[in-house]
Structure 1
Amino acid sequence: MVKISPTTYAHDDLEISTAQIDPRRWMPVGEKAWSLPLLFDRNAGSWVSQLRVEGEGTVERHRHANAVMGYTLDGTWGYRERDWVMRAGSFIWEPAGDIHTLYVHPEQGKMTALFHVYGPLIYLDQNDTVIDYDDVFVRIEKYAKYCRECGLGEDIVRSLIR
């Protein structure tokens, strides 16, 4: 993927300007959280998306089967299990197997970050018991269902699949 500007991404024939995108493309993933899928790579089992949270919130405790890379576009966030805070311009590489609970840091009370997730995302309870998971195929299906329900249709989803 080639970064064109802070809000435009291109890959082969896929170009997305997130600054001018139809707001319906942001799929709700919680009470105050939305995901904007940018790419689904079925062959590599990965996906790229932006996560936006308005207000303080928490993403369920989870671990990744493979490494994850993220870049903070706006706001502040961190992991409850760590003592650092990510701010706009911060890059993170998470090793496979790391267990963490993402939260929006109260400093700004919001966040937007770009994540490239390789492999499954496994949700855990406090006893490290698996309670749910996402992988590229589950993500594609969830986004396709959402796009059908909000009137966007599935062509958008197909255009993001590689």
Structure 2
Amino acid sequence: MNASTTTAAPTRGSRLLPPPPLPSILQLLLLLVVFVVGTTMTASDALLFQRTVSSPRTSRHPPPSPPPRSRRPSDSILSPHSRFSSSYSRRDHRALHAWTPSSSASSASSASSSTSTSASTSASTSRLRAAPEGALSDIVVHSVFDFLSDGIETEEDTRVWVPQSDRLSFRPLCLCTSQGYYVNLLKFTGGGGVLGRHRHSSPVHALTLRGTWGYEEHDWRASPGTYVYEPPGETHTLIVDDGCDEMITLFHVTGSLLYVSGGGGEGREGEDDVIIGYDDVFTKLDKARRWYEECGLGRDFADRLIR
């Protein structure tokens, strides 16, 4: 046996020391490396390096992500509103895009290669997107007034005019029972005359379409194209000029129209002004329903104008 492979036999009384444990050597090496590297690294970087060396498995993974941001109390309020606004904006954008001239041209070119049924379905869908969910439908009344004719014989159906007296009638266009106003055409035929003295509780807008008229308490006269604003609280007497065969005016009446008797003079309420009747959107609706049912148009002809 070679001398290089022989080992000296232990003497009596002597004892071999066990080798130092392996974990202790690794810890010493780790501390030495940390001490050397620590001169050029910050304390936080050294701690991260120590964790990486001591656990090799985690070194292959990216560092942990930062903790999630704490939820603010306002998030629960803003989030549902933001989602609603986003969907609402997209819907409005589609509706607006459907009615732009460019989209109309593109839809017209595409419609030439499609059937009329699909084109009408697409147009109907676009119109449904024009208003948000829950909104009331539009009121579209065709042939309300013939601006090219001087007579009434060109009207499609004279039954749409609701008679209030022998010479006075009205045609309702909008009966807004939810807000207390109505829009109608007022027509007076058979020459000049006095329609009656009345008081307004709310504002009134008027646009003259045919004929001439005015108020006894004022010196102005309304002719075709004249717009008139009537303030609330005013009492006046409507007079149609002599020689006017037909007067038609569009009136937007809010609140009540109170018929009074007597004369306060100069448009001011006097001691003799006594309320003898009234008109509002509900009396107009009732008169329209009864007339349309009597003349054959049907009660629902007036109900379609309710908003």
Q: How far apart are 1:29 and its partner, in Å?
A: 1.5
Structure 1 counterpart of 2:256:
120
Query: In the alignment, residue 102 of structure 1 is paired with which amino acid?
Result: L
SS at the partner of 2:212?
Answer: strand
Q: Distance in 1 between matches of 2:138 and 2:233?
A: 34
Aligned residues: 152
SS at the partner of 1:116?
Answer: strand
Q: Is 1:148 aligned with 2:306?
A: no
Percent identity between matched residues is 40
Q: For each residue in 1:99-122, what CA deviation from the matched residue of structure 2 results, as whole angstroms up to 9, or x when unmatched?
A: 011111125343110000000110
The structure carrying a bigger helix percent of its residues is: 2
Structure 2 counterpart of 1:23:
158
Contact 2:193 2:242 in 1 (8 A): no
Q: How far apart are 1:12 and its partner, in Å?
A: 4.1
Structure 2 counterpart of 1:94:
230
Q: For each residue in 1:138-162, what CA deviation from the matched residue of structure 2 results, as whole angstroms up to 9, or x when unmatched?
A: 1111111111111111111111000
Q: Is 1:62 aligned with 2:203?
A: no
Q: Distance in 2 between matches of 1:161 and 1:74?
A: 26
Q: How far apart are 1:84 and its partner, in Å?
A: 1.2
SS at the partner of 1:24?
Answer: helix
SS at the partner of 2:196?
Answer: coil
Q: Distance in 1 between matches of 2:212 and 2:203?
A: 21
Contact 2:206 2:249 in 1 (8 A): yes
CA change 1:37–1:21 in 2 (3 A) is farther
Q: How far apart are 1:91 and its partner, in Å?
A: 0.2
Query: In the alignment, residue 81 of structure 1 is paired with which amino acid?
Result: E
Q: Distance in 2 between matches of 1:21 and 1:13?
A: 22
Q: How far apart are 1:21 and its partner, in Å?
A: 4.3
5+ long unaligned stretches in structure 1? 1-10
Q: Distance in 2 between matches of 1:51 and 1:130?
A: 22
Contact 2:182 2:254 in 1 (8 A): yes
Contact 2:192 2:245 in 1 (8 A): yes
Q: For each residue in 1:61-114, what CA deviation from the matched residue of structure 2 results, as whole angstroms up to 9, or x when unmatched?
A: 001110000000011000111111100000000000110111111253431100
SS at the partner of 2:229?
Answer: strand
Q: Is 1:43 aligned with 2:168?
A: no
Q: Distance in 1 between matches of 2:242 and 2:137?
A: 38
Structure 1 counterpart of 2:73:
none
Structure 1 counterpart of 2:303:
158
Q: For each residue in 1:20-64, what CA deviation from the matched residue of structure 2 results, as whole angstroms up to 9, or x when unmatched?
A: 542101011122111001010011100000011112122110011
Contact 1:73 1:112 in 2 (8 A): yes
Structure 2 counterpart of 1:77:
213
Structure 1 counterpart of 2:81:
none
- Structure with more relative contact order (C-alpha pairs < 8 Å, separation 6 or more): 1
The structure carrying a bigger strand percent of its residues is: 1
The range that moved more, 116-125 or 29-38, is: 29-38
Structure 1 residue ranges (4+ consecutive) displaced by more than 4 angstroms after TM superposition: none
Query: In the alignment, residue 203 of structure 2 is paired with which amino acid?
Result: A
Q: Distance in 2 between matches of 1:161 and 1:92?
A: 25
